[in-house]
A = this chain, B = another copy of it.
Amino acid sequence: MPLLRPAPSGNVGPPHARARPAQAGDKIHPSMDAYHDILLRKLKAHSPLDNADEKLLRTLRGRTRELAPGEDLIHQGEQSRMSSVVLEGMVGRYHTLPGGRRSYLSFHMAGDWPDLQSLLLDQMDHAVCAAGKATIVLIRHDQIRAICDRRQTVGDALWRETLIDAAIFRRAISNQGGRAARGRIAHFFCELFFRAQAAGLVDGQTMALPLNQGQIGDALGLALVTVNRMLQALRKTRAIEFRVGKLTVRDWNHLAKLAEFDPDYLQMAARP
């Protein structure tokens, strides 16, 4: 439980961070773009989709949008007629606490749907912003609804996507409630690395992780200074390195042990 007052610089979003509606400048993707591969890869990791399902999903059309670091995609309390899929970079979901502090709830990488729940919920209970530069594709809800209606399995895959999301939130609760600072950070890294690996976003032992130490603190309920010191401790174990937007896992087994990490909750077990 770190500070309960307005945060020092870096913990509150940068001043330029404001949500804006889609504009003419945003690119409309031509048909059959690479984003369908990204989107399908993710869904197939947990849901069986046959050719017909896949074909239907590939009919989804959206407008891509590039987000500057820290830029908000949607604010807490807003409504939306679209949901987004991350194509590049990373976005984060967060609550703004009374007092202005920010509490990050989760981070999302290529293939993730950070606001799929807006399909059925009227109001955003949290905001979504870019962590580092990010590219997303915005898909209209009526399009998504249409393909869910046509094929049960497609609707199931999306429902399942939101359910795994919830499992990740649950794990965040017990991570914060049950682990001391070092293990908490280790678990955070384990999960992100594992998910990145599944999404094909790990290059050798390294993944892009465009977060600063203050943001990691805001995600885990720790003060920036504590994160700094624990990162040094983790570095010393030779399990990881984390610098300038990159996370390198040198010793996965060791890290997983420190984190007491068990990936079952990500539901990526045996999927043919």
Q: Which residues of A contact B (CB under 8 A)?
A: 1, 4, 77, 93, 95, 97-98, 101, 103, 105, 117, 120-123, 125-126, 149, 152, 155-156, 159-160, 162-167, 169-174, 176-181, 183-184, 218-221, 260, 264-265, 267, 269
Contacts and interface: CB of A to CB of B under 8 A. Distances in A.
- How many chain copies? 2
Contacts of A165: 166
A189 B98 CA distance: 18
Contacts of A97: 174, 178-179, 260
Contact of A166 (B162, B174, B178, B181): B162
A183 B99 CA distance: 14
A176 B176 CA distance: 7
6 contacts: A1-B176, A77-B264, A98-B260, A103-B178, A176-B176, A176-B221
Nearest to A120: B160
Given A103-B178, A149-B152, A162-B162, A121 B173 contact: no
A170 B126 contact: yes
Contacts of A105: 170, 173-174
Contacts of A169: 166, 169-170, 172-173
A166 B4 CA distance: 24
Of listed A125, A181, A264, A267, residue having the most chain B CB within 10 A: A125
A150 to B, nearest CB: 11
Given A95-B173, A162-B162, 20 more contacts: A1-B176, A77-B264, A97-B174, A97-B178, A97-B260, A101-B178, A103-B173, A105-B174, A117-B166, A117-B167, A120-B163, A121-B164, A121-B167, A123-B264, A125-B167, A125-B267, A149-B152, A159-B162, A165-B166, A169-B172
A1 B2 CA distance: 12
Nearest to A46: B121
A53 B196 CA distance: 41
A161 to B, nearest CB: 10
Contacts of A174: 95, 97, 103, 105
A177 B103 contact: yes
A38 to B, nearest CB: 22
A264 B123 CA distance: 8
A169 B122 CA distance: 18
Per CB-CB distance, the 3 closest pairs between chain A and chain B, nearest first, are: A177-B221, A103-B174, A125-B265
